[in-house]
Amino acid sequence: MKIGINMHSHAVGGSKLALREQLDLFTNVGFDCVELMPDSLNLIRNGILDKRGCSSVLDILSSYDFLYTTHAPLKANLANASLVRISEGIIKACIGFSVLINARILVLHAGFVVPSDKFSIFTRPLAGALMALIDSMRRCAEYASNSGISIGIENGELGATHLFKGIDSLLDVVEAIDMDNVGVALDIGHLYLTANYYGFDLLEATEKALTHMIHAHLSDNFGKFDPLSPYEKDLPYGYGDLHLPIGLGNVPYKDILELIKPVYKGVYILDIDPEYKDFYPLALKNLKELLEGS
């Protein structure tokens, strides 16, 4: 059982000093793994990996005894035909970075489509977006497989442009891609929000996801969002994808983990907003107790 922590881009901002500070903090808390975003370290420029910049980052990372996973830039969009070329370049740069740091999992957001009532010139029919995603994911997965890297596609949250707010459509696409190194990166915080809003069964969806689950993101929230501001995070009102430490929201982690533990043997990444860094030790303690319990 390995428990890791995400390194948010705004906690680093391209600074090598901030990178060291974050890694020192994670060491002191006792995490086993760190999830890195190469774009937060300014290592991807116009779709190309900056290998010289990687060298200085590798010098820092080699001083620490962490496992690493990677996360692609949030705006990488394989579902948009006009962005596929640059997005594939970005994903391949992330794969190259993953090879350098010996990361075996790369997390990728599925992409997004623009709603028909906004910027209609860029709108793409959903079926077309899904085909673009499937085709480009196959190419990226084939490239990744040459280096022993698996790609986990993350289920989306409630933003209007997000694909795969539920699990069924994500599983359909993973099965259509039909590559051994492509699976589901299950974001439980996202799943709780979408289950509450759309009314599907959270535990049933979790159980379905297990068939292709290769990675896990865990954070807490209250299962609420403001439909007028779907990307808004409002802690006083309890709205949004708050990325709270486990135990500070309402996600029923005990029930969820009882389903996951017997099947899933990968890393658990605590996807916590760094403004709650004082709660890192508590989040780690809470998750360990849940995973070690009967």
d(CA 57, CA 17) in angstroms, rounded, equals: 11
Buried b (16+ CB within 10 A) or exposed e, 31-56: bbbbbbbbbbbebbeeeebbeebbee
Selected residue with higher pLDDT from 264 and 14:
264
d(CA 66, CA 160) in angstroms, rounded, equals: 36
For every residue of the chain, which 3-state class applies, written as one string?
Answer: CEEEEECCHHHHCCCHHHHHHHHHHHHHHCCCEEEECHHHHCCEECCEECHHHHHHHHHHHCCCCCEEEEECCCCCCCCCHHHHHHHHHHHHHHHHHHHHCCCCEEEEECCECCCCCCCHHHCCCHHHHHHHHHHHHHHHHHHHHCCCCEEEEECCCCCCCECCCCCHHHHHHHHHHCCCCEEEEEEHHHHHHHHHHHCCCHHHHHHHHCCCEEEEEECECCCECCCCCCCCCECCCCECCCCECCCCCCCCHHHHHHHHCCCCCCEEEECCCHHHHHHHHHHHHHHHHHHHCC
Report pLDDT for 166.
Answer: 81
pLDDT band at 20 (very low <50, low <70, confident <90, very high): very high
Q: How many domains does the chain have?
A: 1
d(CA 171, CA 155) in angstroms, rounded, equals: 10
* Region of poorest pLDDT, from 37-46, 114-123, 236-245: 114-123
Residue for token digits 């589901």? Answer: 184
Q: Which residues contact 97 (CB under 8 A, 6 or more apart)?
A: 36, 38, 43, 44, 49, 54, 70, 103
Residue for token digits 């957001």? Answer: 109
For residue 180, give both structure tokens. Answer: 């051994």
Region for 280 from its dihedrals, namely left if φ exceeds 0, alpha if ψ lies in -120 to 50, beta otherwise: alpha
Report pLDDT for 212.
Answer: 98
Q: Is residue 119 over pLDDT 50?
A: no
What CATH number corresponds to the domain at position 166? 3.20.20.150
Per mean pLDDT, which of 62-66, 74-78, 115-119 is the most reliable? 62-66
CA nearest to 148, candidates 189, 118, 105, 90:
105
Residue range of the domain that includes 72: 2-292
The answer to whether the beta carbons of residues 36 and 25 sit under 8 Å apart is no
Phi, psi of 276 (to 5 degrees): -105, 25
Report pLDDT for 231.
Answer: 67
Report pLDDT for 115.
Answer: 53
Q: What is the pLDDT of residues 205-259, one digit of tens each?
A: 999 999 999 999 999 999 998 767 766 788 999 999 999 999 999 999 999 999 9
Report pLDDT for 84.
Answer: 83
d(CA 244, CA 90) in angstroms, rounded, equals: 29
Q: Is residue 101 over pLDDT 90?
A: yes
* Region of poorest pLDDT, from 83-92, 143-152, 179-188: 83-92
CA nearest to 269, candidates 36, 28, 20, 97:
36
The residue-averaged pLDDT of 108-122 equals 58
Average pLDDT, the chain: 90
pLDDT band at 118 (very low <50, low <70, confident <90, very high): very low
